[in-house]
């Protein structure tokens, strides 16, 4: 009998909403791990545009073409989520040096809490280096064009969300 170890990575975020920048990182991370768990954060301190269930649903739809990706939600400490998923790697996307400074602090704290858990930083592709969920929502709220920056199903939900507001 041959035993094959499965390398599990997690990619956490609020995904409010998921963008093509997120999907770029997800697609590349899916090639690095046998199993990638996208964890949608339920954070009571944030005021998300979309409820948790809808963010999970939009994310699942966006990644359905990847056979090795699972989408779930979590709250609490990231290292506890990683432990539950038996993950050895946390994947984080970096767009700019300002992202790196914050992400480095988080990675070092996570390492202190769980030394066997590694953080891997993936640089954003150039075409998505300016894309953030916050900017996408602001442009959509003001009626601007967001095609090509989010999946079509997310674009439709954003337009519907801000027509109601």
Give residue-wise pLDDT tens across range 55-67. Answer: 999 999 999 999 9
Active-site residue, 22 included: yes
Task: Say which of 55, 133, 137, 157 is annotated catalytic.
Answer: 133
State which H helix or E strand residue 26 sits in: helix 20-32
| Residues above pLDDT 70, as percent of the chain | 98
Q: In whole numbers, what is the pLDDT of the chain averaged over residues? A: 94
Per-residue model confidence as pLDDT tens digits over 104-156: 999 999 999 999 999 999 999 999 999 999 999 999 999 999 999 999 999 99
Per-residue model confidence as pLDDT tens digits over 97-117: 888 999 999 999 999 999 999
Per-residue model confidence as pLDDT tens digits over 2-52: 777 899 999 999 999 999 999 999 999 999 999 999 999 997 677 899 999
- Please name each of the domains of the chain with its CATH number: 8-164 (3.40.50.620)
List of residues 6+ apart from 118 with CB closer than 8 A: 88, 89, 90
Task: Say which of 88, 95, 111, 114 is annotated catalytic.
Answer: 95
- The DSSP bridge pattern shows strands 69-74 and 89-94 to be unpaired
Active-site residue, 73 included: no
Q: State if pTM tops 0.75.
A: yes
Active-site residue, 46 included: yes
Active-site residue, 125 included: no
Q: Mean pLDDT, to the nearest integer, of 86-105?
A: 93
For the chain, what is the largest distance between any 2 Cα atoms, rounded to a whole number of angstroms? 60
Cis preceding-peptide flag for 164 (omega within 30 of 0): no
């Amino acid at each position: 009998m041959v035993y094959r170890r499965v390398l599990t990575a997690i990619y956490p975020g609020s995904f409010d909403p998921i963008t093509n920048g997120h999907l770029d990182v997800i697609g590349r991370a899916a090639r690095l791990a046998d199993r990638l768990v996208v964890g949608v954060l339920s954070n009571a301190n944030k005021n998300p545009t979309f409820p948790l269930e809808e963010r999970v649903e939009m994310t699942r739809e966006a990644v359905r073409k990847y056979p090795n990706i699972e989408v779930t939600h979590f709250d609490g400490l990231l290292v506890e989520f990683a432990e539950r998923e038996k993950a050895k790697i946390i994947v984080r996307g970096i767009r700019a040096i300002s992202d790196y400074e914050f992400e480095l602090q988080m990675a070092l704290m996570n390492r202190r809490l769980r030394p066997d858990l590694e953080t891997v930083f993936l640089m954003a592709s150039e075409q998505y280096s300016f894309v953030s969920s916050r900017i996408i929502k602001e442009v959509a709220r003001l009626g601007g064009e967001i095609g090509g920056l989010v999946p079509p199903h997310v674009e439709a939900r954003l337009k519907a969300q801000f027509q109601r507001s």
